[in-house]
Amino acid sequence: MPSYVVASVDEIPPGKRKLVDVNGRAIVVFNLDGEFYALNNRCPHRGGSLAHGIQTGLVESKEPGQYCYSRLGEMVKCPWHGWEFDIRTGKSWCDPGRIRVRQYPVAVKPGTELVEGPHVAQTFPVRVENNYVVVEM
């Protein structure tokens, strides 16, 4: 599977994300506490751009009057109709069995390894002293 260098690690600090073009496809890469996740940017509901949505938490309730708010920043909410997706799995909160955003494998690799190839660096300048986020597609 070809892999693509999409960012240096320090470009996407924890809690941030970056919208990238991978082989003509819009992909949004998230950093959750040092772990990187890549999702197709297009919301499977009606096509909103997830990179323009807010990252939010998970609100759950066992019964009326009680609630639990957890996993802050681990859900992305579509900027249009507010569909929420679990960044770690791509699954939708409302209908996880059926509706999910396509997720792509991500790895962090050192520049020393990347300079060798066979990764497709596109126009991205790779330096041996940095670490890079690499998406497989």
Partner 1 sequence: MNIELRQPDISQKAKLKIVDVDIHPKSSIEDLKPFLSQRWWDHLQTYGGRTRQGFAKTYPYPKGQPIASRRDSWPPGGGLPASDLNFMKQQYLDLFPIEHAIMNPLSPTGQGDQNDEFSAAMAFAANEFQLEGWNRRDPRLLSSVIVAFEDANAAIAEIRKRAGDKRFAHVLFKSRTVEAMGKRRYWPIYEAAIEAGFPIGVHVFGTSGRPASNTGWPSFYIEDMTEHSSCCQAQVASLVLEGVFERYPELKIIMIEAGFGWMPSLGWRMDKNWKRMKDEVPHLKLAPSEYMRRNIWVSTQPMEEAEEPDQLMEVMNWVGFDRIMYASDYPHWDFDDPIMALPPSLTDEQRAKLYYKNAYALYGLG
Kindly tell me which of 9 and 19 has the beta carbon lying closer to partner 1: 19
Which of these, 14, 19, 16, 15, lies nearest to 40 by C-alpha position?
19
Token pair of 2 as six digits: 């070809």
Which residue stretch of 29-37, 48-56, 63-71, 108-116 sits at the interface with partner 1 (rule: CB under 8 A)?
48-56
CA distance 69 to 5: 35
Among positions 14, 54, 69, 105, the unique one binding partner 1 when judged by CB under 8 A: 54
Single-letter code of the amino acid located at 110: P
CB of 77 to partner 1, least distance (A): 8
Single-letter code of the amino acid located at 125: P
Kindly tell me which of 46 and 112 has the beta carbon lying closer to partner 1: 46
53 lies in the site for partner 1, by CB under 8 A: yes
